[in-house]
Amino acid sequence: MNTAVALDHVGVAARDLGPLTAAYERLGFALSPIAQQSGKRRPDLPVEPWGSGNRCAFLKHGYIELIAILDPALYDNTLNAFLARYPGMHILALAITDEEANLARMRAAGIDIPGIAWLERPVEAGGPIAKFARLPFPDPPEGRVQLIRHLTPELVWNPKWMDHANKAEALEEVILSTTTPADTATRISRLSGLPVEPDPAGGYLLRLPGAAAAAGPFAPVMETRIRILTETALASVLPGVIAPASPFMAGMVIRTADAGTAARRLLADIPTVEAPAGVMVPPEYAAGAAVVFA
């Protein structure tokens, strides 16, 4: 298939990994071990160690990447540029099943992409190496917006890291806001190969149809969504969230096994907000990204 099929993951960025991961553990997520990244800066260059590293909350469908700078002396994986805009969500990755077919489609559409970018990282210290094929949209103002296929999904979606106290199961929706929603919608549509439609709140909606095991080996076939909203519409979807910049990756909706019951119990000491989709953790308690448990 030569289009995106599902939300794969989002990435929340910070300068320091410790406080970032502590915030998400407080929300009831179990996290994978620390992993330092490596990869090729360009397709024609060798793999090298990078200064960035992450821990992740792996769900049955998709995951949340928590990424920060582990070694300032090494290539920063563009995190410093992201953090100069705002701390929070800067990565949006869409799952694909065929990187070569999507590369051909993107080039045919006139997208200036040099080739497939290869990324790898150990799943834990001294452990096996997970590998990924990536097709990043070149220099989008939204952040790192890319297509991805996991070459070793069985290594990263490990059941021992997937028992979440908040009963999180799926990355269901990602919400962006911008003063120019038509421009952002055009870029996301060109990247994904999928059409957009009007969003009832104001802006645009892109539906990803789903594919078995596309966003993890345990992933069901389910529709996932990207909402590209005006800044006015953002307030109706994520109450109280104010965009610090435009474009802004504002938040995510996490589908749970119990309609948010466990999450509400865990979040009793956090001033949550009722959002249309469920109970919302404001950005100041989730490292700059609103998290809605549905």
pLDDT for the residue 18: 97
pLDDT over threshold 80, residue 125? no
Q: Is 12 part of any domain?
A: yes
pLDDT for the residue 162: 97
Look at 31-35, 114-118, 147-151, 249-253 and tell me which has the smallest mean pLDDT: 114-118
Other C-beta atoms within 10 Å of 93: how many? 25
Q: Is 285 part of any domain?
A: yes
Q: Which residue has the higher pLDDT, 255 or 119?
A: 255
Tens digits of residue pLDDT in 181-208: 999 999 999 999 999 999 999 999 999 9
pLDDT for the residue 12: 99
pLDDT for the residue 120: 80
Look at 17-21, 84-88, 130-134 and tell me which has the smallest mean pLDDT: 130-134
pLDDT over threshold 90, residue 267? yes
* Residues 33 and 129 occupy one common structural domain: yes
* Residues 95 and 235 occupy one common structural domain: no
1 pLDDT tier (thresholds 50, 70, 90): very high
pLDDT over threshold 90, residue 142? yes
Q: Concatenated DSSP letters for 220-261?
A: ----EEEEEE-HHHHHHHSTT---SSSSEEEEEEEEETTTTH
Q: Is 1 part of any domain?
A: no
pLDDT over threshold 80, residue 135? yes
C-alpha to C-alpha distance for 250 and 46, rounded to whole angstroms: 34
* Residues 148 and 180 occupy one common structural domain: no
67 pLDDT tier (thresholds 50, 70, 90): very high
Tens digits of residue pLDDT in 17-63: 999 999 999 999 999 999 887 777 777 877 788 889 999 999 999 99
* Residues 214 and 282 occupy one common structural domain: yes
Question: Domains in the chain: how many in total?
Answer: 2
* Residues 94 and 40 occupy one common structural domain: yes
Token duo for residue 10: 């989002």
Q: Is 95 part of any domain?
A: yes
Mean pLDDT of the chain: 95
* Residues 194 and 90 occupy one common structural domain: no
* Residues 22 and 129 occupy one common structural domain: yes
* Residues 152 and 181 occupy one common structural domain: no
Q: Which domain holds residue 140?
A: 6-161
User: Considering 120, 138, 161, which residue would you say is the last residue of a domain?
Assistant: 161
The CATH number for 44's domain is: 3.10.180.10
* Residues 239 and 282 occupy one common structural domain: yes
pLDDT for the residue 2: 96
The CATH number for 248's domain is: 3.10.180
Tens digits of residue pLDDT in 150-160: 999 999 999 99
pLDDT for the residue 170: 99
211 pLDDT tier (thresholds 50, 70, 90): very high
* Residues 154 and 182 occupy one common structural domain: no
* Residues 67 and 152 occupy one common structural domain: yes
Token duo for residue 154: 């069985």
pLDDT for the residue 38: 76
CB 133 within 8 A of CB 148: yes
User: Considering 161, 183, 211, which residue would you say is the last residue of a domain?
Assistant: 161
Nearest to 223 by CA among 172, 167, 276: 172
* Residues 50 and 122 occupy one common structural domain: yes
User: Considering 161, 181, 199, which residue would you say is the last residue of a domain?
Assistant: 161
CB 277 within 8 A of CB 223: no
